[in-house]
Amino acid sequence: MAVSEDNLRFILGLKLKNLRQAGGLSLKQLAGSSGMSISYLSEIEKGKKYPKPEKLLGLARALDVSYDDLVSVRVDEQLDAVTKTLRSPFFTEFPFEVFGLQAQDLFSLFSEDPSRAGALVRTLLEIGQIYDMRVEHFLFAALRSYQLMHDNYFVEIEDAAAGFRSQVGPEALREDPAGALTRTLERVYGYQLDWVGLAAQPELRDLRSVLADESDPTLFVNSNLLPAQQAFVLGRELAYHVMALGERAKTSSWLHVTSFEQVLNNFRASYFAGAVLIDRDEVTEAIKLFLRKKRWSGPDFLRLMNDFSATPEMFLYRLGQLLPALLGFQNMFFMRLNHDQRSGETRLSKVFNKTAVPLPAGFWQDEHYCARWAGRRLVEGLAKGEKGTHVRAQRSRFLGSRDEFFVISMARPLRLSSASYSCVSLGFKIDDNFREAVAFAEDPALPIEVVNVTCERCPMSAADCADRLAEGSVHAAKTRLLRREAAIDRLIRETNAGAHAE
């Protein structure tokens, strides 16, 4: 693997500091014997400078090593883990700049104690292997952090979407969104749209879209999608042109992730599509009217969603973007579960959490998500043969916490996957601000459920919870460990007390 210029500087800096300390030299002593300034040597050790060959020769002589050994990218075992990380896909692709950092900020910490840093890196790499964590996992985690930093509300994308809506025409988008976006792609950007190619190939039937040949673009769109989903695909495609987004994926579902820029642009394009199809001002006014109702009404909420020609995921995710920013509902979460009727498996496919409460995590795929979640209740109904889109609201109280959340869940059969269901949930903490804005926040007709994350982590017994799907094995193991630690503490205290008494 080729070594980048940045990595060459980092490796030289680590080796120089290691050699200097091994020789018992201070920076001042090395400066005197090499003819370089202390500040310049410090810059080299921090990975910020790479000297010219004649200066490197002077350094090699001062350190009593060969020139080749000094400049080689080969390192001893002490530094091996650190330099492997420097050359790893994670380090080269991770978007340090998003968090106001540069790569050298991280490795300036490592240069202080390479041995301990190497142990830390080896530990992290081993954890990654155990959990089968790939570079894309880190990139998607970085994206979620980026969204949290901005409260998942991006004014520049909102403004771009509003400008595009005014050009295309709000009426045209309201009456036939897919048609209006199709015409724009074809007439303005020279696209050809193919509505049959994907559905005709068994391997591609579950893909929503594929882009072929960007110079003379053909966009394959799955004809089995709902009209709202087709419009969303077209809106995402237009985003790359309207907002001049660069690196991108060619498919709607991720096959390969090559960079954070690709992940970030995919997010921006999806945000743009949602903002074009569900106008910020229109949906905010509509939801404000809905929130003034004295009683929660599932049918009324479905009608509100249908007024915007949206799918449940589009609608709830859009509310999750807007309500924290515009109504101050900051403590919120969004979660999507997919249920496969054939295997009985429920899988977490998306989560965005702005709260302090625990939510299901992807590493817990072999555990059973709490059946008291509103979404799990809906999935059970669909699994029994119920049709259409279903909605449920409940007040969820997290076990062991005083926090209570108003949760709206919607579930429906997946369009491109037989015998599978999608369930999306949007939750807001019931605090004073929420109670003031939402007239039905504490509607007595709403069910109140005590919820947890998974059955395996729940302390409630089968007698306390008729919905339990598995034994609380993880909780029991933790409880046994705590009891053992407490017993050891008692033994030590009693022994010490007896010794003092004598």
Q: Give residue-wise pLDDT tens across range 88-117.
A: 666 666 677 666 666 666 666 565 665 666
Phi, psi of 349 (to 5 degrees): -110, -10
Indicate if the alpha-carbon torsion angle 309, 315, 321, 327 is positive or negative.
positive
Per-residue pLDDT reduced to its tens digit, 140-181: 888 888 898 888 999 999 999 999 999 999 999 999 999 999
* Predicted local distance difference test score (pLDDT) of residue 1: 44
**Residues 406 and 434 sit within 8 Å (Cβ to Cβ):** yes
Query: How confident is the model at residue 191, as a pLDDT?
Result: 95
Measured over the CA atoms of residue 153, residue 157, residue 160 and residue 162, the dihedral's sign is: negative
- Residue 341's pLDDT is what? 78
pLDDT of 132 reads 56
Q: Is the dihedral of CA 162, 142, 420, 378 positive or negative?
A: negative
Which phi and psi (to 5°) does residue 30 adopt?
-65, -35
Tokens 């669909």, residue located = 382
**Measured distance CA(225)–CA(32) in Å, rounded:** 72
**3-class DSSP state of 151:** coil
Task: Determine the Cα–Cα distance for residues 160 and 269; give it in Å rounded to an integer.
Answer: 11
Q: Which of 392, 447, 397, 401 is nearest to 425 (CA)?
A: 392
- Owner of token pair 């969603």: 305
pLDDT at 69: 83
**Would you state the pLDDT for residue 467?**
87
Task: Read off the tokens for 365.
Answer: 């795929």
Listed as ranges, residues in the chain with pLDDT below 70 are: 1-4, 73, 75-94, 97-135, 214, 361-365, 383, 418, 502
The predicted structure's pLDDT at residue 120: 60
- Report residue 278: phi and psi, to 5°: -125, 90
CA distance 413 to 109: 50
As to burial, measured by CB atoms within 10 angstroms (0-12 exposed, 13-18 middle, 19+ buried), residue 153 is middle
Q: What is the pLDDT of residue 333?
A: 93
